[in-house]
Amino acid sequence: MEEVSSQSWFLRKYHDGSMFGPISFDQLANWASTAQVAPHDLVSTDQETWLKAPMVAQLAMDWLVEVTSEHYYGPTTVGAIQEFIQLGDINGETFVINTCDGTRRQIAELSALFKTAVNAKVGASQTSEPLASGISIRLQERIRDLEQTLRDERRALKEVEERYAALEEKYHELLKGRGD
């Protein structure tokens, strides 16, 4: 297999299917490090065989961000986590997990790794760039899921209340019938 850095790459965004490329691997890696490549985005060198971006080890998408105790974002890069810190999506108290060694620590404990200095974007690309994806997208998905669950629960409650009312009516009719 050809070395990844010598190949042209294509990026397909998961959320809308938009395509970027051909681009160099260095450009793809730069996008990954600035949160422009999300965990579900697909990458390819031939536009026939597509891989989820985190499956390309050289992109170093080795970190999971613990958004809540039950919800994680990633895997993503150190640079993307720095972007999320700058955007205010996460802070020093947020836990991250290194998927290579399984360690779980707060960002504040790893301050040398997750510096909050603004990263200058290197070199302008002739190809249009994907927008940076923030963790808030995942939170919005979770909110939509919870809202749908709430709608389902309300619908189920209404059905139960209607069945209860029907049974209560039947019960009162039976009582009337016994009393006559």
DSSP notation for 116-180: -SPPPPPS--SSPPPPPPPTHHHHHHHHHHHHHHHHHHHHHHHHHHHHHHHHHHHHHHHHHHHH-
> CB of 98 within 8 A of CB of 62?
yes
pLDDT at 71 over 60: yes
pLDDT for 83 equals 86
Lowest mean pLDDT among 8-12, 54-58, 147-151, 164-168: 147-151
pLDDT at 136 over 90: no
In the beta sheet, which residues pair with residue 19?
Answer: 12
pLDDT for 125 equals 44
pLDDT for 170 equals 93
What CA dihedral angle connects 1, 37, 27 and 24, to 10 degrees?
Answer: 30
In three-state secondary structure terms, 29 is: helix
Q: Which residue has the higher pLDDT, 140 or 111?
A: 111
Q: How far is CA 100 from the centre of its chain?
A: 19
Position 30 confidence tier, pLDDT thresholds 50, 70, 90: very high
Position 117 confidence tier, pLDDT thresholds 50, 70, 90: very low
Q: Which residue has the higher pLDDT, 103 or 133?
A: 103
pLDDT for 29 equals 94
Of 30, 54, 27, 58, residue with least CA distance to 43 = 54
Q: What is the mean pLDDT of the chain?
A: 84
